[in-house]
Chains A and B, each alone.
Chain A
Amino acid sequence: MMFDAGILFSSVLNGLTTGAVYALIALGLTLIYGVLHIINFAHGASLMLALYAVYMLKIQFGIDPYLALPIVVPGMFVLGYALQRVIINRASHGKDENILLVTLGISIVMENAALLVFKSDTRTIDTAYTLTTIPIGPAMIALPKLVAFAGALVVSAILLWIVGKTDLGRAIRAVAKEKHGAKLMGIDVDHVYAMSFGIGLACLGAAACFLLPAYYVNPQVGSGFVLVAFTVVVLGGMGSFGGALIGGLLVGVVESLGGLYLGESLGQIGIFVIFIGVLLFRPQGLFGAKA
């Protein structure tokens, strides 16, 4: 099957805008993995909660999704900090599988609590700019998607700055590399763990604000994202920020082209095939060094 260059171009462009949001979600996941060496299975469900928060702020108080950023991002940070300190940190008993199980349990609770409160309806919001499109070359791109693309890149840059240049970032990197050494240097490891988890979830808060104007929310929306985020993270190499960024954009484009060539439902298979393939044949990721 062949498509003309215009359709292909707009499909790639659309994929890139979605991919930037995937990258932002994956950055949170890879930060948590890189520092705590745990896989946060509740990442998708947490994103779903953030989307509902943005939705409720718009419906109840008329707050525009982009203006909700300063409310939702700190809110998600606090949630993440508390989850790590109160539940996850106490459940590991020194085994990775336990963390996976606890975060799975948390995601089950979150998803079904949302189902209880909001029912299974799919909800969207209306903003003045929802249907606005901007022409780029032969393609028409929805304005919210462009904002999401730019916003995701800006937040990613802020995250990289925090981890790279601030004292907190130095502490995070020290704990990620050698937690016993960091502890001896006077770093409060439990606090750094919780901060990392909080920042990881704060990324989801930002992603939710950028997503909702062009997307929808229902209680299951997170499970779609959770595998995509894992795919991005393993593709880019677990714990690698640059890898997550490029991996996110790549997965967005693959999904978009897969949908174009295989149809909406079958198109998603491309992502899972990449995921299984990378885990089997190149578990260090495309850009990671062999362990």
Chain B
Amino acid sequence: MAEEPKPPQSPESPKPESPGAAPAPPAAKPAGAPAAKPAPPAPKSPAPVQVPLDSELTKRYRARFGSAILDALEDRKQPYLVIKAANLAEIARYSRDEEKFDLLEDYTAADWPRREKRFDLVAVLYSFPHNTRLRLKIPVVAQERPSSLVEIWPVANWLEREIFDMFGIEFAGHPDLKRILLPDGWQGHPLRKDYDILQQDSAWVRENLGIESGQ
């Protein structure tokens, strides 16, 4: 959009591994992908779509949580906050009670294998009173065990189970954390980038279905 303010820094500035910011080039596209390029930013590319955000909302969050808010950005007019995993529960509770984000619309993750904090948890919040959305991004490492949001938004129950199933991130305080879409005995977490598209748990398939994998 034309009215987007000019960003203070160019996309080439050496900050490729900053958590939650503009995606770094892909680490490894699954095999079979047509020669995935690392997508160097073109020298004459239009204004980057992520711009720092400084709205009333982010000011309130920053005033309240200070350094727990790592970043506040806007991507294609959609705001998101990058927050510390340690403060997830209190920020979530504040979002629901004070900022009236009463619906956890979606909760998912993305894998960035080359980052120090490999995963981004992404929570999409919706506020019925204000008719607005806000995304929370929580960079975590696999063993970090971020706190579960089930107590705050019961809908998180199955969503966290799906994240656990697909990415192998465990949530502290989840009432019944187990796989949801894949069978209980399955090995591996398919939505991780190092899980190839043709890969499957062949031992499980052989044992339970009586067929060889890779049909």
A binds B: no
Residues of A within 8 A of B (CB): none
